[in-house]
Amino acid sequence: TVYKSEVPIDLRLPTSQRWTKANLQKLLAAMKTSIPEHDIMSAYTKGLKSVDWNVVAFPPFSPEACQEKWREILQKMRKTRTLTELIIEAEDVISNPVKNMKIHPEFPKKPSPPNAIFYEENWAKFHEKHPNMSRRKVFRRLIKKYKALSDEEKVQSVKGNGDAVVDINFCFHSF
């Protein structure tokens, strides 16, 4: 069974509001032309601050929708470059999705490993009990706690993540 939350948001939108390849290329071209001359070779964070999303937006997409779509694309890319370089790579990904499957905006993410899930699930409670403890110490304590779990308890945390593994395998095959 496929639940509504498992269907990509784009597929829940009316066809006229979905991000097509042409729409993505238009977004990237608009972003590239909106970068001020003095920010072309700046780090992507500085360049991104200078992007005027009201200028970049085009019908039927709002400035917020354009910005959100860029965040989705950016999330899967190395960020140690300029905004211009990132846009050029994104254009290549959109025009050549088979070659660049791993950073394509529709490519599903792998689920986190069990120890990372354990950390995410227990961090807030542990930090609440020990508010003066640094993040590094909280991390170390939780990792020790995870390592101290019996194999049976670790398997239970993997089983809790089993649905995600099945979903991701389905998504990879359907991509």
Q: Within this chain, do residues 91 and 33 fall inside the same structural domain, yes or no?
A: yes
Q: Within this chain, do residues 62 and 148 fall inside the same structural domain, yes or no?
A: no
Single out the residue in 52, 82, 103 at which a domain terminates.
103
Single out the residue in 103, 132, 160 at which a domain terminates.
103
What is the torsional sign of CA 26, 28, 29, 31? positive
Residue 70, classified by CB atoms within 10 Å of its CB into exposed (0-12), middle (13-18) or buried (19+), is buried
Is there a contact between 136 and 76 (Cβ–Cβ < 8 Å)?
no
For the whole prediction, is pTM greater than 0.75? Answer: no
For the chain, percent of residues with pLDDT exceeding 90: 14
Q: What is the tens place of the pLDDT at every residue in 95-137?
A: 776 665 555 555 556 677 888 888 888 888 888 888 898 888 8
Q: Within this chain, do residues 30 and 94 fall inside the same structural domain, yes or no?
A: yes
Question: Which residues on neighbouring strands pair with residue 50, listed in sequence order?
Answer: none
Residue 124's domain comprises 114-174
Q: What is the tens place of the pLDDT at every residue in 2-15?
A: 444 444 445 455 55
Q: What is the tens place of the pLDDT at every residue in 24-81?
A: 999 999 998 888 888 878 887 888 888 899 999 999 899 999 999 988 888 877 666 7
